[in-house]
Amino acid sequence: MQIRRFVGMILALAVLTASGSAAAEKAEIGAPAPGFTLPDVQGTTYSLKDFKGKFVVLEWVNFDCPFVQKHYRSGSMPNLQADYAAKGVVWLSICSSAPGKQGYFEGDELKERIAREKATPSAYLVDQDGKVGRAYGAKTTPHMFVIDPKGTLIYAGGIDNIRSTDTDDIAKATNYVRAALDAAMDGKAVAVSSSAPYGCSVKYK
């Protein structure tokens, strides 16, 4: 009986340790990007591990945020998504807005907004409990992350270096996501691997 009790305690400790490790996983430049599985608007699930061997961009999004609207309604974000999709990059837009908060949409309303903004990501994923957003430390919309084919996080931060909602600033700005992808795809070091994100706060529950 004592042996069984001892074995049970060891197994319980192992489960707790494993759970704690998963919960403690955080995004760090140069380290493996935290894994996740999330559903899209159709209910299809996507896992980060499915895209190993490809460059992956994660974009935290809230279509009602004026900073996000700057990049979508100018055509800048959809064009960026399309440009890199043509190069084999997987682009995952993630919404961590909680139900009832700004930026949260579902069903036909979400499909309509994706179409209205002319968004062309590989998938728009719903993170309504905010677990993935918190694992990545996503603070704003947009907040951008670039992952290399080995699954290593190589960029995290703002989409560019001009904090504004003015579409005229897009042409003047350095787009950090484009720069990171271009450098990494050419086998070069990423010059700016992190920057301060800007935009609306993520509307976590």
The tens digit of pLDDT for each residue in 117-134 reads: 999 999 999 999 999 999
Place of tokens 């677990």: 131
- Whose CA is closest to 204, among 137, 144, 146? 137
Q: Could you tell me which residues come within 8 angstroms of residue 202 by beta carbon, excluding any fewer than 6 positions away?
A: 60, 62, 96, 97, 130, 133, 138, 139, 140, 141, 143
Angstrom distance (rounded) from CA 29 to CA 26:
10
- Whose CA is closest to 147, among 22, 34, 25? 34
Using N-to-C axis directions, what is the helix angle for 76-85 and 66-73, rounded to 10°? 60
Does 3 have pLDDT greater than 90? no
Given this model, what pLDDT does residue 18 score?
33
Angstrom distance (rounded) from CA 27 to CA 30:
9
Residue type, 191: A
Does 77 have pLDDT greater than 70? yes
At residue 159, the 3 state secondary structure works out as coil
Q: Which domains does the chain have, with CATH numbers?
A: 26-201 (3.40.30.10)
Per-residue model confidence as pLDDT tens digits over 42-63 = 999 999 999 999 999 999 999 9
Task: Specify the range with the lowest mean pLDDT, choosing from 9-23, 100-114, 157-171.
Answer: 9-23
What's the pTM value of the predicted model, to 2 decimals?
0.88
